[in-house]
Amino acid sequence: MAGRVVTIDGPSGAGKSTVSRRLAARLGFRYLDTGALYRAVAWSLLESGRKIDEPADVAAAITSLDLAVEPRPDEFVVMVDGKPVGVEVRTSEVSRASSRVSTMAEVRGFLLDYQRDCAEKSDIVAEGRDMGTVVFPGAGLKFWLDAAPEERARRRHLELIGRGETVTYEAVLAATRERDARDRARELAPLRPARDMIVIDATTMSADDVVEDMVSRVGQTWPELKKGLSSVN
């Protein structure tokens, strides 16, 4: 880990992606979206007709997966078979599949080097579920971004409707609670904050407010960055 690393972990729908992109752009860091990696793997498995609930089948499939990543300040580009993937990996079906494959040691191990390699090349803001505990345990600054399940479901519902999906808020809320329960109960990288993480409850906070809070803490952690941060509006 050659560069500075800020990790932002937390449950689905807490605003990690939005906040991480904005924070990375504000700091001039690269943005690492690990959720996009797991979604890309899940999407690829679904496209190939693989059984995503069979670890052996998944392990065999990912050995031939042509995956590449390109972290940028404002976005994280994932390419499968040389082609960038975008909205196709953001559907409800892929989201459910991603949650399942992310519990598999084979998948997590496969993606670990991709994630750590990003920090070897530049300063990064990394968001996910275990960035500050497993992937980058030595990160200079670690956040846990959370929000009430109802608020997270509301945000996700609006996102899905905006993409043209037909889904009710009640269904999204039920899926949110189900995923929370599954992620917290899993043996590998369970969903919970570590003791050295700064917990931020974003239920009633705007993304801009969260970013400002984080920027302030970045300046405290790396004083040499303060001058540049204060000059950015």
In this prediction, residue 1 carries a pLDDT of 57
Q: Mean pLDDT per segment of 10 residues, for the chain of length 233 residues?
A: 88 91 93 91 90 87 89 84 86 87 89 90 90 94 97 93 91 92 81 93 96 96 82 48
Other beta carbons less than 10 A from residue 92's beta carbon: 15
- Give the three-state DSSP class for 15: coil
In this prediction, residue 19 carries a pLDDT of 96
In this prediction, residue 202 carries a pLDDT of 96
**In order of start, what are the domains of the chain with their CATH numbers?**
5-212 (3.40.50.300)
In this prediction, residue 190 carries a pLDDT of 80
Residues pairing with 144 in the sheet: 9, 199
Backbone angles phi, psi at 40, to 5 degrees: -65, -40
Structure pTM? 0.85
Distance CA 133, CA 194 (A): 7
In this prediction, residue 188 carries a pLDDT of 74
In this prediction, residue 192 carries a pLDDT of 87
- Sorted by sequence, the CB contacts under 8 Å of residue 118 that are 6+ apart come out as 30, 32, 69, 71, 124, 126
In this prediction, residue 56 carries a pLDDT of 87
In this prediction, residue 40 carries a pLDDT of 93
